[in-house]
Structure 1
Amino acid sequence: MYKFTIDQEGKSMSVSTEQKHWIKATIPALEQGGEALTTHFYKLMFSKYPVTATFFNPAHQEKGTQPRALANAVLAYAKHIDNPAVLMGAVTLIVNKHVALGVKAEHYPIVGECLLQAMKEVLGAAATPEIIDAWAAAYGQLADILINAEANLYAKQAMSTGGWEGQRAFTIAAKEQESELVTSFYLKPLDGKQIMTFKPGQYITLHLNVNGATVMRNYSLSDAPNGQHYRISVKREEGGVVSNHLHKQLAVGDTAQLSPPCGEFVLDDSKDPLVLITAGVGLTPAIAMLKAAAGQREVRFIHACKNAAQHSFKNLTEQLSTQHSNITAEYIYENQDGLIKHQTIEKNLPNNAQVYFLGPVGFMSAVKNMLGKLGVPAERQHFEFFGPAQAI
């Protein structure tokens, strides 16, 4: 069994030229069997270190999206081992997710040990000592980058006005039904002290005890920063253990533990026209962006959902578009209008717009394709996933 260690200063070995050669030699195997490797890795890690399972949503394991995302990340790292700096965008995403969940330096040797063991067991004879040693060095290099970046973010949060590190108790100050499937929860700090501000688009992590098990879930903040409360708006998913617990069990006056706001999917601070394209519960971070941008820049808001009964925040968006001449809103109901169309985006696309879109994966893939055909540069397209990253 391979025991992975990081030295006491959190530094790991660098990757030599020869080791980079061995890393790149594994690319064909990762392209063909990366998901089998990462699926085995998670089973192995959860079996040997059950506490690590609390960091993950079981639904993402069952659907295969979490192993697939890790397989893609490992493959990308192998392909860019000569210049890992090109992956810094992905690193920033990982750092924010890790800090939101409370991942610490002591967790990295566990992951390294199980990843290398999984490579040995899945790749078999192909996992030569040279390849295992090369991947140990590569993982150590990446772990060092992540540990240092995460330590900096933890410190920044703790030192921020109203900030904290780890978990903080909040009270459910109010619950409001936004549609037949979505309910908003207003969260105020139990200690009555100031709360940390955030950037529209960020999320908080809710720590709960559900049916005797500790669970953590990330929820986008659906209100603009106000210094008084955080608001999350949660869709009740059929069969969703946590969402149903929130809707049916969590009452006004109850408490929950929160981690500080995190996330790199945030509203830009330019004065460029802003286009928000959302579907379903994907509108939650967009509502925070819409409120923050009101009166500041031209905003086109497009929201798609199945029907009027599932349309959350319609009164709010109507109110904002009435109060602010810079905001226009358009709604698409699938049962009446079908799916979002190229023409709808085209007529709501000012020159030099920053476009944010969020919703189900199929929706985002369609929107991304339409934006590409309309000539919107990649750097002006912004999106994120509610869960592990996927190809769109």
Structure 2
Amino acid sequence: MLDPQTIATIKSTIPALLATGPSLTAHFYDRMFAHNPELKNIFNMSNQRNGHQREALFNAICAYATHIENLPVILPAIEKIAQKHTSFAIQADQYQIVGKHLLATIDEDLSPGAEVLTAWAKAYGLLAGVFIEREEEIYRENQSKPGGWRGLRHFHISRIDVQSETIKSFILTPTDGLAVADYRAGQYLGVWLRRGCDQQIRQYSLTQAPNGRDYRIAVRHESGGKVSGWLHQQAKTGDELHLTPPAGDFFLNVNSDTPVTLISAGAGQAPMLSMLDVLAREKHPAQVRWFHAADNARRHAFRDEVLEKGATLAKFSSHLCYKAPSALDKGHYDSAGLMDLLPLRHELSEPGMHFYLCGPVGFMQHVVQQLQRVGIGMPCIHYEIFGPHTVI
């Protein structure tokens, strides 16, 4: 643990951090990539260009400084980051590189003096140790599972299905022919794509219940996306990919008598599909509600699959919202425009119900506001964000 003087020194830097803002972490990334360009193969550079990653890191640094004397407050955030780090196969020695450039950035941007730099060195060392220990635990857990492994494993694409205008699903099978590890519904895979000297790493949610043989992911074609573009435009059956084991802190965690509502938009239904599949296979006896938002029928993926799985449940209902339906979509949706849950509040008030959300940040903020208006507390609301984490 940190001594009181170090804690006080760290907290005294909070005003300067807030005044500097995300430009601090922008400088940090620029500095680190200039000195260690090999790390560009680990980070999603699209999130660097749009500023999402630097903002997420800045918020994490401020949260750490704010709660430096009470780390249990930020343990959920640490777990989320540690899980994501394992999909990048982060190693302990890389924390030394990050620490070196973080301290240099603080010195260059804030000129705080030796006492502050020493305090931040201690604070970073403590936090890095927490991450290294937790990530090693995850690596070992994944390796010890039946069908598990550590690091990268060779897979090939064994099936490609067009699910909508913008979404394809891919079944990935291990090239060694051996079993694959189970996972919790809602988790994701680390997908490593190497083409020549270029390496890209992305996380894609698993979309089926575990079967021990292969994995299925769903990928939306992002404009300008290197990995989604290759998967949609060039990938064919037989092509090889490297995967890290399933990971993630967003997963279905309910008892058999817990009512469940799954709410998604666009590609955000990917983790919900695995949750629904698990609920269907387990013949979940409690109420299961499915809410999904799409632009229109042409962009609505997995419609038939959801209805087929829902039909096997004793208590299932679905509500489909199309933002801009066409005349041909009549009869395929329940409401138009933005998803409005308030008229359906009677369907959301069952005692003990848990809500799982995934979709664009603005969509989830809109949904959470509505859920809170009808009396749903945040402990019952669980959400996943594709990309750097944002607090809803």
Match of 1:284 among 265, 270, 276: 270
- 2:292 is aligned with 1:303: yes
For 2:100, give the aligned amino acid.
Answer: E
The DSSP-based 3-state class of the residue aligned with 1:233 is: strand
Change (3 A) 1:243 1:122: same
Is the contact made by 1:203 and 1:263 (CA closer than 8 Å) also made in structure 2? yes
Match of 2:231 among 230, 233, 246: 246
Count the aligned residue pairs.
377
Task: Give deviations 1:13-54, integer Å, cap 9, x for gaps.
Answer: x52211111100111111221301111000001110111122
Which ranges in structure 1 are unaligned for 5 or more consecutive residues?
Answer: 1-13
- For 1:327 and 1:77, locate their aligned partners in 2 and report how far apart those are by CA, in whole Å: 42
Alignment correspondent of 1:389: 389
For 1:287, give the aligned amino acid.
Answer: L
Moved more, 61-70 or 207-216: 207-216
The aligned runs of 1:40-79 (5 Å cut-off) are 40-79=27-66
Alignment correspondent of 1:315: 304
- For 2:311 and 2:150, locate their aligned partners in 1 and report how far apart those are by CA, in whole Å: 40
- For 2:312 and 2:52, locate their aligned partners in 1 and report how far apart those are by CA, in whole Å: 42
- 2:141 is aligned with 1:156: yes
Instruction: Please report how far the alpha carbon of residue 328 of structure 1 lies from its aligned counterpart in structure 2 after TM superposition.
Output: 1.2
Kindly report structure 1 stretches of 4+ aligned residues shifted beyond 3 Å.
none
- For 2:343 and 2:386, locate their aligned partners in 1 and report how far apart those are by CA, in whole Å: 24
Is the contact made by 1:210 and 1:242 (CA closer than 8 Å) also made in structure 2? no
The aligned runs of 1:353-372 (5 Å cut-off) are 353-372=353-372
TM-score where L is the length of structure 2:
0.94
Alignment correspondent of 2:332: none
Match of 1:85 among 72, 76, 90: 72
- For 1:150 and 1:157, locate their aligned partners in 2 and report how far apart those are by CA, in whole Å: 11
- For 1:103 and 1:306, locate their aligned partners in 2 and report how far apart those are by CA, in whole Å: 37
Alignment correspondent of 2:341: 342
For 2:260, give the aligned amino acid.
Answer: L
- For 1:383 and 1:357, locate their aligned partners in 2 and report how far apart those are by CA, in whole Å: 5
Instruction: Please report how far the alpha carbon of residue 227 of structure 1 lies from its aligned counterpart in structure 2 after TM superposition.
Output: 1.3
Is the contact made by 2:342 and 2:370 (CA closer than 8 Å) also made in structure 1? no
Moved more, 170-179 or 210-219: 210-219
Is the contact made by 1:35 and 1:67 (CA closer than 8 Å) also made in structure 2? yes
The DSSP-based 3-state class of the residue aligned with 2:193 is: strand
Alignment correspondent of 1:236: 221
Instruction: Please report how far the alpha carbon of residue 92 of structure 1 lies from its aligned counterpart in structure 2 after TM superposition.
Output: 0.5
Instruction: Please report how far the alpha carbon of residue 76 of structure 1 lies from its aligned counterpart in structure 2 after TM superposition.
Output: 0.5
The DSSP-based 3-state class of the residue aligned with 1:291 is: helix
- For 2:310 and 2:81, locate their aligned partners in 1 and report how far apart those are by CA, in whole Å: 36
For 2:279, give the aligned amino acid.
Answer: A
- 2:175 is aligned with 1:176: no
Is the contact made by 1:65 and 1:390 (CA closer than 8 Å) also made in structure 2? no
TM-score where L is the length of structure 1:
0.94
Which ranges in structure 2 are unaligned for 5 or more consecutive residues?
Answer: 326-335
For 2:248, give the aligned amino acid.
Answer: G
Alignment correspondent of 1:374: 374
Is the contact made by 2:342 and 2:374 (CA closer than 8 Å) also made in structure 1? no
